[in-house]
Chain A
Amino acid sequence: MTRNVSITLQNTDDARPIIEAIEQDNPDAVVHHYPSMVKIDSPGQLTVRQSTVEEKLGRDWDVQELHLSIISLSGNVDEEDEYFTLSWQ
């Protein structure tokens, strides 16, 4: 059985383009809305792609800007200049 990885982001103007990008790039992800936060679960793996977030934002975006919006995560982290990935092996 594939276990979910998970990321929780603040429900803010900064985070909304990231949430949209995650939804677009991870078709199996399920988005849960709570007061002031959004929790996204995805089976096995979840990727935040720099190019997609930049498309949504209309500006350059450093993957490390994720630090400003993230609340929690579950899964092994792999971060590079172009992406941020959570996975269970």
Chain B
Amino acid sequence: MSVATKARKLGLKQRYALMTRGLGWETTYQPMDTVFPYDTYEGIKIHDWDAWEDPFRLTMDAYWKYQSEKERKLYAVIDSFAQNNGHLGITDARYVNAIKLFLTGVSPLEYQAHRGFAHAGRHFRGVGPRIACQMQSIDELRHAQTQVHAMSHYNKYFDGFHDKTHMHDRVWYLSVPKSFFDDAMTAGPFEFLTAISFSFEYVLTNLLFVPFMSGAAYNGDMATVTFGFSAQSDEARHMTLGLEVIKFMLEQDEGNTPIVQRWMDKWFWRGYRLLALVAMMMDYMLPKRIMSWQEAWEMYFEEAGGALFEDLSRYGIRPPKYHEVAAKEKDRISHEAWGIFYNYTHAAAFHTWLPNEDEMAWLSAKYPKTFDKIYRPRYEQWAKMKAEGKRFYNNTLPQLCTTCQIPMGFTEPDDPTTICFRSSEYRGERYHFCSDGCKDIFDYEPEKYIQSWLPVHQIYQGNCGGAELGQVLDWYHINQGADNLDYDGSPDQQLWDKWMSDRKKAAS
């Protein structure tokens, strides 16, 4: 790439000042409050918008230069992956199911983030945050597009990749990521940034992208690693924006502190629940594993997050409420989530399977307190049923948590053998939750969550194509007998096994 000349007239700080602050103005035809009507109603008080500082000091001209370089590199890899039949180089076709979940669950969120940051950026009267949001909005659109491009190669060979947007709006488990983002998008601009930039990007996104993408590399999926890390290179900037917005709010007015703390509590828990899906991807869906969910949680939340919250304590901020519950759950949520999908994989657009002996040995070593006691016997029983030709599928719809919308499969913080039930009453109606974290979120803003579009209740109300499972799956656009059911016996498996046996024949 071309290199900027060293003999600059202006330093980084000056350039940043001119290319951000220098671009803004006080409106005169209309008062500022009318032009920017949304940046005060949340109760956040800002006295000096110019105190906003982007630590990277990235300006739009430099932004375009580096982003285009990233794109060139990424598309070279995606192209060569497709040209060289990269899908044949992955460790095992079971792995592809993690990518299906990514495409239907995560990529649509990138697009929503693109919209969300465009909206938030429009509504900040300060130029610094407005430009940071503008860059992030463009980044997120790039992520959605590159992910769809990269994964389109798998769509040529494997099932379940054909209708991500339609599925995202309808399929029961995809209401979990969808409702998460809808919740953030319908909040004000400051809460949106706290939710997405801080709690999700800064505190939790490492858990999604970093170990999972490294796992993709370990499993031979060059295309995913490349879009993953290309996206993640923007993420470092997004994380910095997240920390910046928090410090900005906290430094502007003491009265902002309790509001920020409440948002941190809420969005930590919402993000953490969403990541149960990632936990299961890491522990069950990567044929070769680099680290367990528990290890990733310890490295990225307990260590890195611990340092972060210690740093923020000078503002009177404490670690998010219920982080100690997350610590208690770290050796079970991946297993509980996999159990949910094993139960209902006949209604999903990806396959599940029983871990093999080697995988169980790994899980048992990584989860010495829980795996052999609770989860290994479960898999033994399911294996027995499968051997008798009665692969277990749960044929009754699950109860869902009103807030996170995940089936109520999580257990009591101090008892991994008992389901955790919580409930609240609001205006004569009863609502149910999987945890104290989800209940607290409801109790603070019940009007928001009484509108939850809970897939199970929608099916029972007759709004999802019909009363029979087959009709609902048609309405989801799930190709029955191909996209759903166990990996064993699936068209994906048959195709993969044929490729592998052809390869052996060719080699002998």
Contacts and interface: CB of A to CB of B under 8 A. Distances in A.
B4 interface: yes
Contacts of A67: 56, 58, 66, 70, 233, 236-237
Contact of A71 (B1, B215, B232, B290): B232
A76 B62 CA distance: 21
Contacts of A5: 307
A88 B310 contact: yes
Contacts of A68: 66, 69-70, 73, 233
B240 A73 contact: yes
Contacts of A73: 236, 239-240
Interface of A: 3-6, 8, 10, 34-37, 59-62, 64-65, 67-81, 88-89
A35 B290 contact: yes
Interface string B1-12: 101111010011
Given A35-B218, A36-B213, A89 B12 contact: no
Interface residues of B, number: 46
Give me the 3 closest cross-chain CB pairs, A-B, nearest first. A3-B307, A36-B217, A77-B55
A81 B15 CA distance: 11
Contacts, number: 103
Contact of B66 (A8, A35, A64, A80): A64
A75 B247 CA distance: 13
A14 B290 CA distance: 24
A10 to B, nearest CB: 5
Q: Give chain B's interface secondary structure class.
A: helix
A74 B55 contact: no
9 contacts: A35-B214, A59-B3, A64-B56, A68-B69, A71-B235, A72-B206, A73-B239, A77-B56, A88-B310
Contact of B55 (A37, A79, A81): A79
Nearest to B311: A88
Contacts of A10: 229, 233
Interface in B466-492: none
Contact of B236 (A60, A71, A76, A81): A71
Contacts of A8: 210
B307 A74 contact: yes
Contact of A64 (B62, B211, B303): B62
Interface in B219-244: 225, 229, 232-233, 235-237, 239-240, 243
A76 B243 contact: yes
A59 B236 CA distance: 25
B132 to A, nearest CB: 13
B306 interface: yes
B57 interface: yes
A3 B210 contact: no
B308 interface: yes
Nearest to A6: B304
Contacts of A72: 206, 209-210, 232, 235-236, 239
